[in-house]
């Protein structure tokens, strides 16, 4: 089971990506728990997490999120803008898993 959280500023665009990733996971038979969280709500969503991914438009919060996530050993990274722009669920899911496995 991979626990993945996507972060963007108002939760406008990431929720769609979540659906896409869930679909990709289902097709590949991978068990996941993926959530979209707005920046402001992140503090309450840091438990049981394997990876945090940021939308490219909130790249600037990376240092701040790292501060929160590092002590808990959760890796954080920014989603590639082409994958984000095309809402490529398969690729983003691959990316998430590669981070989790490589940590």
Partner 1 sequence: MITQSEIPNHVRKGLLLLQEHRYDVDELIGMTEDILKFSETLEPTLKLIHEEEKIGEDFYSTIEGKIKSYKRKGLDDREISEILNIDIESHFQRYLGEISRYYKKDGLKNIISKEIMDIVDEILLLAKQVLNKEYDERIYLGLSFHLERSIERIKKGERIYNPKLNFIRINYENEFIYAMKIAKIIDSKFNVEIPVDEIGYLAMFFATDFFKDKKEMESYVRIMVIMHGKSTASSMVEVVNSLLGLDFVIGLDMPLSMKPQKMYEVVKEKIVNMNGDKGVILMVDMGSLTNFGSMLAEETGIKIRTVDMVTTSMVLDAGRKSVLGYSMEEILGKERLDKEIYKRNLILVACFTGDGLARKVKEMLVNILGSLDLKIETINIIGSSSLEDRVSKMKEDYNILAIISSMEIDIGGIPFISVMDVFSGKIKGILNRLMVEKRSHNGVWESLKEHLVYLKDELIIEEVNTFIDQVEKKLDLKVSDEVKTGMIMHICFMMDNLKGEKKTKEFANLLEFIDEYSSEFLTVQNEIENIRRHYNVDIGENDIAYILKMFIENSKTVQ
Residues with a known catalytic role: 8
**Residue 91: partners with Cβ closer than 8 Å, 6 or more residues away:** 80, 83
Closest CA to 70 of 52, 56, 90, 82: 52
Contact call for residue 58 and partner 1 (CB under 8 A) = yes
- Distance of closest approach, residue 1 Cβ to partner 1, in angstroms: 27
Among residues 27 and 101, whose Cβ is nearest to partner 1? 27
Give the count of residues interacting with partner 1 (CB under 8 A).
25
Packed helices 14-28 and 89-102: angle between N→C axes, nearest 10 degrees: 80
Contact call for residue 95 and partner 1 (CB under 8 A) = no
Q: Mask of contacts with partner 1, 7-46, x by CB under 8 A?
A: -xxxxxx--x---------------------x-x------
Instruction: Please say whether the beta carbons of 83 and 95 come within 8 A.
Output: yes
Among residues 59 and 72, whose Cβ is nearest to partner 1? 59
Count of Cβ atoms closer than 10 Å to residue 17 Cβ: 23
Contact call for residue 67 and partner 1 (CB under 8 A) = no
């Amino acid at each position: 089971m991979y626990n993945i959280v996507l972060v963007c500023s108002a939760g406008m665009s990431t929720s769609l990506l979540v659906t896409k990733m869930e679909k990709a996971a289902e097709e590949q038979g991978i068990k996941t728990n993926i959530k979209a969280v707005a920046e402001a709500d992140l503090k309450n969503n840091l438990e049981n997490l394997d990876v945090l991914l940021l939308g490219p438009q909130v790249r600037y919060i990376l240092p701040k999120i790292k501060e929160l996530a590092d002590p808990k050993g959760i890796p954080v990274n920014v989603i590639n803008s082409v994958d984000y722009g095309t809402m490529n669920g398969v690729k983003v899911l691959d990316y998430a898993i590669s981070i989790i496995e490589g940590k």
